[in-house]
Chain A
Amino acid sequence: MSSSTSPTVVSPSPGQRAWQRFRRNRLGYWSLLAFTVMVVASLFAEVLSSDRPLIVRYEGSTYLPVLRDYSEKTFGGDFETPADYLDPFIRQRITTGGNWAVYAPNPYGPKTLNYFATLPNPAAPSRENVLGTDDRGRDLLAQLIYGFRVSVLFALALTFIGVILGVITGAIQGYFGGRIDLGFQRFIEIWGSMPELYLLIIFSGIFAPSVALLLVLLSLFGWMGLSDYVRAEFLRNRQMDYVRAARALGVSNLQIMWRHILPNSMTPVVTFLPFRMSAAILALTSLDFLGLGVPPGTPSLGELLSQGKANIDAWWISLSTFAVLVLTLLLLTFMGDALRDALDPRKQNT
């Protein structure tokens, strides 16, 4: 009985074959790898760029300042205030006399103000700040790393919610057709003609601005494009003979949608995932640029762009932010192109 599924013959599923085709596209594959590395690295932003040392060994005990707050007195200071690891006094105490501290490669956090800076803000790239500082004195590289993380996580969350909503509404419309489809389409037309930006401004005035509020508002309007594609696929696939055979077997509507039609309708969803993500990143950046996005104090690429505009002489702000945005969007576009080629139904037989 178990010889029927012998491990020696592995039959690739259509999904696996699509993955093989994707891998053969070098540009897309390396873009995917590069993007993954960037995202994973930004998830560990605290390890890469933090004003607190990662590990400190002081007078025989080990401390993890990146995880916990310690007061100045722990390291021989005078007050109960949280230790400022940029203070030369503290630095000297924890790095000499048999004590060692491991600092993050970029020793600044996103909100760190260097009270001991030697240059006025915004400062050009120097030995202290690799990419310079912004107009408030915060390190630019730290801002970029943390801001990238916020953008990407926001985009992932927005895309995820958009996919779920889009697939469910598209599936219901496409499968049942008739009056349900007509009703939904009219609803989508009305809903889609609402001005997103103004609603955002109004709601930002009523509620306290936060990332969660932005997520809710943007996902309320972002699902409609995907819903149209899924609806078209469902309308096409529900006429297939295998759906009729399933109905003749007595399979229920929900099971037909989930087991039969949905796996065969995922092509447009997967193809558009990278483009939806880049649209989400751009949306967040634009809102931040206008000041309507994440609350002030949260690191964000859009806010850096607006600072760059306000301080046009500080070219390092605009240039580096621009470079990060262009790189991210390029990688996503290459991935999207490669996905589209891999999932092209006309090339399914290779």
Chain B
Amino acid sequence: MAFGNKEVVRGIDFHLAPGEKLALVGESGSGKTVTALSLLGLVQNAAITGVARFAGAPDARGPRDLLSLPEQALRGIRGKEIAMVFQEPMTALNALFSVGDQIAEVLELHEGLSKEAAKAAAVQLLADTGIPEPARRARAFPHQLSGGQRQRAMIAMALACGPKLLLADEPTTALDVTLRGQILELLEDLRLKKGMAVLVITHDLNLVRRFADRVAVMENGCIVEQGAVGDVFAAPQHPYTRRLIDSRPVRDVSALAPAALTMPPVMQAQALRVSYPVPLPGLRGWFQKGEFVAVQGADFRIAQGQTLGVIGESGSGKSTLALAALGLLPFQGVLDVAGGVWQRKAAADKALRQSVQVVFQDPFSSLSPRMTIEEIVGEGLRIHAPAIGGDARQVQVLQALADVGLTPQQYPGLLGRYPHEFSGGQRQRIAIARALIVQPKLMVLDEPTSALDVTIQKQILHLLQALQRERGLSYLLITHDVEVIRAMAHEVLVMKDGAVVESGPIEQVLDAPQHEYTRVLVAAAA
């Protein structure tokens, strides 16, 4: 398949027997989503060659080539014989129609049911996916449902006409860890009941291990290895497959020196509480504002050279905790930072800012698109060491970039380049260099590798571990990935709905969890 002059995917051969589960694995840019979309003719402006034979309903005229079918015939197949479940349930569902209406639409279109019959069938389908109170949920709009419920609704929509093949594009990536297991079980149940084949596209190897029968590994538009899951994972042939399987984060954390524990901690919090004002409904809302507590009574202590991992799901308040630790949000309680306190005034806090720096999650929005790399990395020096002249500053910028592994030899003209020329992993390195150049004592890492591919994640974590060893940095590491915590942290804080449910040294929390929620988290990641 080619877009314009650029060949995106080539030489793809795979087969799928009825009732079989095939996983298409690869990193971003490998062409897996585009391959699946092309089967249904959903890719625009693409020049596609090749054959895709699909054996449809028993009364069809034998296997047909999907890639050469006219649009009219393809429309008959889409939704009825081949269905698709997309990655982001919020954007894949139409926000203006109720969920029941959207499912009924598929039934009216393909099965020719009347409106009432379709509505009733939609409620039944929702019930099959295990949503509680399906009749009420069918009348709800997508924004009124939670993420897991939306994904179930999408699955109901896809399975409405009993398709032979289900294409699932990263069906669980946007969901919380606890929900992923449930959705996978649901897919497995429904597959057994209907005898459906499933093509799962994913970059998550755990999902492949748990769910798929066979796996095809894609790199840069080609399938580099194919086979049964057990075989490929036990004895990977291709070097890329081996690299993928080896990309689980490796623990490389040096134990704390005993001296570090006696010295004053880099950060200490007692009864930390962060709340937002929210509008109240009704007449009361005219006179008062309600309060939403995002972080409730957190206590923690970070010594020098130590990493505190904060783990929790979306909405647990961990990012709010990070912003409060940086002094960017007002809070109540005691928060001691490197011997000082945040006063929430720009001039007074400036000196303290040098000690605490941050790396954010999204590498694409954390660097200003219109500033050169030199300006971005050198900004910290401009603020905190204005006496240094332009030349000396440039030397320090180059040194900081070299420390994170970016040198002008590899990237000519490095200092004059703009962020759009770098990949996600390289941008994250630039963000780390920006934080390092002012020589902080503590770095707040807010999901630093969540947006990166698995192999790149391993490199970045390795870099962070090396920096901690060399410079005695402390990290406040926020993440939802248990593997990352296992690789990086000394102590762990588990958060749920704003409260700290469990805390302690890593061996204690992850290997012998006390709280029910921690147990679920650890089990889901295993």
Contacts and interface: CB of A to CB of B under 8 A. Distances in A.
A221 B365 CA distance: 36
A254 to B, nearest CB: 10
A246 B376 CA distance: 9
B408 interface: yes
B75 interface: no
A250 B358 contact: no
B55 interface: no
Given A249-B379, A250-B346, A13 B370 contact: yes
Contacts of B353: 248-250
Contacts of B383: 249-251
Contacts of B371: 259-260, 263
Given A250-B353, A259-B371, A264-B370, A244 B412 contact: no
Interface string B358-402: 101110011111111000000110011000000100110010000
B47 interface: no
A242 B408 CA distance: 24
A244 B328 contact: yes
B82 interface: no
A13 B384 contact: no
Contacts of B335: none
A6 B415 CA distance: 10
B366 A1 contact: no
Contact of B358 (A1, A5, A240, A248): A248
Given A4-B398, A260-B368, A249 B416 contact: no
A9 B410 CA distance: 13
A245 B369 contact: no
Contact of B362 (A8, A241, A251): A241
A4 B413 contact: yes
Contacts of A251: 379, 383
Interface string B87-103: 00000000000000000
A10 interface: yes
Given A11-B417, A14-B370, A241-B365, A1 B395 contact: yes
A3 B398 CA distance: 11
Interface string B421-455: 10000000001001000100000000000000000
Contact of A4 (B360, B408, B420, B434): B408
Contacts of B354: 250
Consensus secondary structure, chain A interface: helix
A121 interface: no
Interface string A1-32: 10111101111111100000000000000000
B418 A14 contact: yes
B217 to A, nearest CB: 27
A3 B353 CA distance: 33
B365 A4 contact: no
Contact of A245 (B349, B358, B413): B358
B413 A249 contact: no
Contacts of B431: 245
Contacts of B362: 241
Contact of B366 (A6, A241, A264): A241
Contacts of B391: 1
Given A242-B366, A244-B358, A9 B346 contact: no
Nearest to B420: A14
B398 A11 contact: no
Given A5-B415, A9-B412, A263-B370, A245 B360 contact: yes
Interface residues of A, number: 31
B474 to A, nearest CB: 16
B357 interface: yes
B191 to A, nearest CB: 38
Given A244-B360, A250-B350, A9 B369 contact: no
A225 B230 CA distance: 63
B9 interface: no
A250 B346 CA distance: 7
B349, B356, B416, B434 interface centre (most CB from chain A within 10 Å): B416
B326 interface: yes
Contacts of B326: 248
Interface in B12-69: none
Contacts of A193: none
B6 to A, nearest CB: 12
A9 B360 CA distance: 30
A248 B446 CA distance: 13
Contacts of A36: none
A241 B369 contact: no
A252 interface: yes
Contacts of A246: 379
Contacts of A10: 413, 416
10 contacts: A4-B413, A5-B415, A9-B412, A10-B413, A241-B360, A244-B328, A251-B379, A263-B370, A263-B371, A264-B368
Given A1-B391, A242-B368, A251-B379, 7 more contacts: A9-B412, A11-B417, A244-B358, A245-B431, A248-B326, A248-B357, A263-B371
Interface of B: 323, 326, 328, 346, 349-350, 353-354, 356-358, 360-362, 365-372, 379-380, 383-384, 391, 394-395, 398, 408, 412-418, 420-421, 431, 434, 438
Q: Which are the 3 A-B pairs with shortest beta-carbon distances?
A: A9-B413, A250-B353, A241-B366
